[in-house]
Amino acid sequence: MTTVEQVREVLSHVTDPEIPVITIADLGILRDVQVQGEHVVVTITPTYSGCPAMDEIRADITSALAGRGLRDVEVRTVLSPAWTTDWMTEAGREDLRAYGIAPPERRVTGPVPLVLGRRPSCPQCGSGDTDELTRFAATSCTSLWRCLSCREPFSRFKAH
Amino acid sequence: MTTGAPTSTAGSDRDLAVGADTAVAADTAAYALRLGDDALVLGQRLCEWAATSPQIEEDVALLNLALDQLGAARSLLTLAGELEGAGRDEDDLAYLRDEPDWTNALLMELEGGDFGRTMARLLLVAAWQLPLYAALATSADDGIAGVAGKAVKEVAYHLDHARSWVVRLGDGTEESHRRVQAGLDAVWPYAAELFERDALTDRLVARGVAADPALLEPQWRATVEDVLAEATLDVPQTAWHPTGGRSGAHTTSFGYLLAELQHLHRSHPGASW
């Protein structure tokens, strides 16, 4: 008899393919796990509408569970309620920082980002003297910054 | 367009079978298709800047915006296919419809022109999509509301991006001012189509599914005029308002856009990576 806890334990090793230091659970995109007999339903949600990593995440979930003998797996994708960076765990934020990505700010209010202009601290040296190079970077969910103190460039997870 | 499982926009159990709801489902399908066609066609135009933008950061930016539009389009086309109930998925709708079956507004399909014109168009579209998706986030249709609640956050970035470029170009050199004004003048007449009401929107507004196009106009105008004032650009004056996109009457250039978009799928049905 498979339990939800067992499935969650397996999924706790599945990471984001583009940011492999953070798990899908810590990222907040693992929405729900249900087990009916041997039928497993995993529900996930994208960070961005066009997130190209979703297909790979679906495949990673399926193959991780297959590795434990769970082959009757359905991965559902839902858009609502829309993901927000507030669903990222503290552990996930620390993982990002340690990896060199500035984690998102907690949102202030409302559904629309009001923090577009706020400057993150450098994840390398901690300096607040940072400068946005481009709002649209290597992935939909990050922007590119540089630190004016240690001169290192870094990615920032966009808050929304 | 996709190799993976389609995105379900309304959870698992969409209750379509109830007799009286069939007409509403058909209307909602047509409405989702309009929104999806808008997003897909604009995304395709933005993709034309790949490797040709004025700087590499802008290249990445425009493709990010295109990816957002494509993401919304995939969900909306999937939703339209589900509601239609004829077994068409997002790929069938994107790749196997001819010009008269597309219902995007003409503004989306206009050729991009130079960078000034691209940014002028993006400003007009984003200033419309932001209040549109904000209103639709509370749509009575869960599928539409789900897509809109996601897209509204992304479009806020699009508007911010367009605003900063239009101001920089308009309040820049004589040449950049001249070119962004020319681009704005060229695309401006087409914006009126975004605010047209018809029998479909009237029925869906009454049911709380659609946003009232006419009510979005004042908000759009305030945003755009604010940006243009800061950019030292003139608000174009025209009484000419071409229309027809919603009923499938498109511009000449749209055929070429579709040829590029659909060629691979039509030449090699079922091709995958």
Q: What is the pLDDT of residue A50?
A: 87
Q: What is the pLDDT of residue B20?
A: 60
Selected residue of A136, A140, A158 to mutate for chain B interface (largest B Cβ count, 10 A): A136
Task: Tell me whether residues A79 and B64 touch, CB distance under 8 A.
Answer: no
- pLDDT bucket at A39, cuts 50 / 70 / 90: very high
Among the three residues A77, A98, A126, which one is the final residue of a domain in this structure? A77
**Contact with chain A for residue B187, Cβ under 8 A:** no
DSSP letter at A159 equals: P
My answer on whether A67 and A122 are in the same domain is: no
Q: How far is A142 from chain B (nearest CA, A)?
A: 11
Q: What is the pLDDT of residue A160?
A: 75
Q: Which residue has better confidence, A116 or B39?
A: B39
The token duo for B70 is: 């494509």
Q: Which of A49, A52, A137 sits opposite B60 (nearest CB)?
A: A137
Q: How far is A128 from chain B (nearest CA, A)?
A: 23
The model's pLDDT over B153-175, given as tens digits with 9 standing for 90+, comes to 999 999 999 999 999 999 999 99
My answer on whether A95 and A146 are in the same domain is: yes
Among the three residues A49, A77, A105, which one is the final residue of a domain in this structure? A77
B1 neighbors B95 (Cβ within 8 angstroms): yes
My answer on whether A145 and A93 are in the same domain is: yes
Task: Tell me whether residues B153 and A112 touch, CB distance under 8 A.
Answer: yes
Task: Tell me whether residues B147 and A79 touch, CB distance under 8 A.
Answer: yes
Q: What is the pLDDT of residue A107?
A: 64
Nearest chain B residue to A55 by CA: give it.
Answer: B4
- In A, which residues are within 8 Å of B72 by CB distance? 49-50
**Contact with chain A for residue B219, Cβ under 8 A:** no
**Choices 1.20.1260.10, 3.50.50.60, 1.10.287.620, 3.40.1190.10: CATH for B21-267:** 1.20.1260.10
DSSP letter at A70 equals: -
My answer on whether A93 and A73 are in the same domain is: no
Among the three residues A27, A46, A77, which one is the final residue of a domain in this structure? A77
- How far is C-alpha B135 from the geometric centre of its chain's CA atoms? 15
Q: Which of B4, B74, B152 sits opposite A58 (nearest CB)?
A: B4
Ramachandran bin of B269, using left for φ above 0, alpha for ψ from -120 to 50, beta for the remaining angles:
beta
Max Cα–Cα distance, chain B, nearest Å: 62
Q: What is the CATH number of the domain that holds A39?
A: 3.30.300.130
Q: Which residue has better confidence, A142 or B32?
A: B32
My answer on whether A46 and A108 are in the same domain is: no
Question: Across all residues in chain A, what is the average pLDDT?
Answer: 90
A106 falls within a domain: yes
A46 falls within a domain: yes
Strand partners, A134: A144
Q: What is the pLDDT of residue B16?
A: 45
Rounded average pLDDT over A11-29 = 94
Nearest chain A residue to B71 by CA: give it.
Answer: A50
Whether residue B218 has a cis bond before it, omega within 30° of 0: no
In terms of C-beta density within 10 A (0-12 exposed, 13-18 middle, 19 or more buried), how is residue A10 classed? buried
**Contact with chain A for residue B57, Cβ under 8 A:** yes
ipTM value of the model?
Answer: 0.85
A94 falls within a domain: yes
Nearest chain B residue to A140 by CA: give it.
Answer: B64
- pLDDT bucket at A115, cuts 50 / 70 / 90: very low
**Contact with chain A for residue B72, Cβ under 8 A:** yes
Q: What is the pLDDT of residue A117?
A: 57
**Contact with chain A for residue B216, Cβ under 8 A:** no
**Contact with chain A for residue B149, Cβ under 8 A:** yes
- In A, which residues are within 8 Å of B75 by CB distance? 49, 79
Residue A64 pLDDT > 70, yes or no? Answer: yes
Q: Which of A71, A78, A68, A124 is nearest to A99 (CA)?
A: A124
My answer on whether A67 and A95 are in the same domain is: no
A82 falls within a domain: no
Nearest chain A residue to B146 by CA: give it.
Answer: A80
A73 falls within a domain: yes
Domain boundaries, chain B: 21-267
> What does the alpha-carbon distance between residue A118 and residue B272 come to, in Å, rounded to a whole number?
42
The structural domain count of chain A equals 2
A147 falls within a domain: yes
- In A, which residues are within 8 Å of B137 by CB distance? 111
- Spans of chain B, pLDDT less than 50: 1-18
DSSP letter at A108 equals: -
Task: Tell me whether residues B4 and A54 touch, CB distance under 8 A.
Answer: yes
Q: What is the pLDDT of residue B11?
A: 42
Three-class HEC string of chain B: CCCCCCCCCCCCCCCCCCCCHHHHHHHHHHHHHHHHHHHHHHHHHHHCCCCCCCCHHHHHHHHHHHHHHHHHHHHHHHHHHHHHCCCCCHHHHHHCCCHHHCCCCHHHHCCCCCHHHHHHHHHHHHHHHHHHHHHHCCCCCHHHHHHHHHHHHHHHHHHHHHHHHHHHHHCCCHHHHHHHHHHHHHHHHHHHHHHCCCHHHHHHHHCCCCCCHHHHHHHHHHHHHHHHHHCCCCCCCCCCCCCCHHHCCCCHHHHHHHHHHHHHHHHCCCCCC
Domain enclosing residue A117, as ranges:
89-157
The token duo for B112 is: 């991009």
Selected residue of B44, B157, B273 to mutate for chain A interface (largest A Cβ count, 10 A): B157
My answer on whether A68 and A124 are in the same domain is: no
- In B, which residues are within 8 Å of A111 by CB distance? 134, 137, 149, 152-153
- In A, which residues are within 8 Å of B70 by CB distance? 50
- ∠ CA B192-B198-B199, nearest 5°, is 175
Determine the straight-line distance between the first and last CA of chain B, rounded to whole angstroms.
10
My answer on whether A99 and A40 are in the same domain is: no
Q: Which of B8, B60, B150 sits opposite A136 (nearest CB)?
A: B60
**Contact with chain A for residue B35, Cβ under 8 A:** no
